[in-house]
Amino acid sequence: MITFKKGKKDRLLRPDEEKKTFGAGLNFAASEAYRLLRTNLLFALPISSLHSGETCRVVGVTSSMSGEGKSTTALNLGYVLAESGKKVLVVEADMRLPTISGWLKLERRVGLSSLLAGLCTEGETIQPSGIQERLWIMNAGPIPPNPTELLGSERMKTTLRNLAGACDFIILDLPPVNEVSDALVASRLIHGMIMVVRQGYATRSSVGEAMREMENVGVKVLGFVMTHSERQGTKYKSYYKGKYAYAKEGKDKAEPAV
């Protein structure tokens, strides 16, 4: 039985964290948007939809291309779920360019890559988030040479099964679908995928390509989250500006946004 270390209560952001807005640092409009996402997720993936005996919902978060806000979305979704009383583990399953543990100033010595390589146990890789007492983080660990193979391994399947006994939700922050195949490989281990689309940045072709790739492997897409969108004069921003080392060059961003 895996036991998580006791987490800390909410803390406000330090000045150097303001560029990445999450947790208690979200403004009212953004907080309400994530709570609406939480509600929609609970309706889209009820306990009754899981296999017999399962109570932990495993959800992937991805995008079509880098820079759309998937990691921010994964972390804030985990935060609002934990805020509602759920026990949540966010896994940095993007082992190529992990970001969440850096934002939260977490130890990176061991993590998911170490665990899947058989170098440590689940308990050694899980840390309190520091922003919500029911939210924990499994960091990516050292960047491995074979992340796709690790995510598709039998050990990954066993790991999620073991972790499920201690959680209500496991959220996997996965790489963009159009950049590498990691999210597609991991999709067989999740109950559903959330697709993040950045307004004015993602193109029709990039989103269409990602949807075709996921359809080909039978991914259950739970819904879409639009970041950097404007509604009734209010801006909802993800503040995610990261770049992937393996991002494709020459992407056409001049096409109409989705």
Query: How many distinct structural domains can be found in the chain?
Result: 1
Residue 14 lies in a domain: no
The pLDDT tens digits for 148-173 are 999 999 999 999 999 999 999 999 99
| Residue 251 covered by a domain | no
Amino acid at 182: D
Q: Report which of residues 8 and 203 the model is more confident about.
A: 203
Q: What is the span of the domain harbouring residue 145? A: 22-236
**Taking the model in full, what pTM does it have?**
0.83
On whether residue 248 sits in a domain, the answer given is no
Residue 155 inside a domain? The answer is yes
The total of other beta-carbon atoms located within 10 Å of residue 182's CB is 24
Q: How confident is the model over 195-227, as pLDDT tens digits?
A: 999 999 999 999 999 999 999 999 999 999 999
* pLDDT for 18: 38
Q: At what angle do helices 28-44 and 70-83 cross, to 10 degrees?
A: 80
In a domain, 200, yes or no: yes
pLDDT tens-digit map of 46-93: 999 998 889 999 999 999 999 999 999 999 999 999 999 999 999 999
Helix, strand and coil percent figures for the chain, each rounded to 5:
35, 15, 50
pLDDT confidence tier of residue 228, bands split at 50, 70 and 90: confident
Q: What confidence score (pLDDT) does residue 5 get?
A: 61
What CATH number corresponds to the domain at position 45? 3.40.50.300
Within-domain flag for 12: no
**pLDDT tops 60 at residue 252:** no
Q: Residue 4 domain-assigned? A: no
Residue 171 lies in a domain: yes
Residue 122 phi, psi dihedral angles, 5° rounding: -55, -45
**What digits encode the pLDDT tens for the residues 127-155?**
999 999 999 999 999 999 999 999 999 99
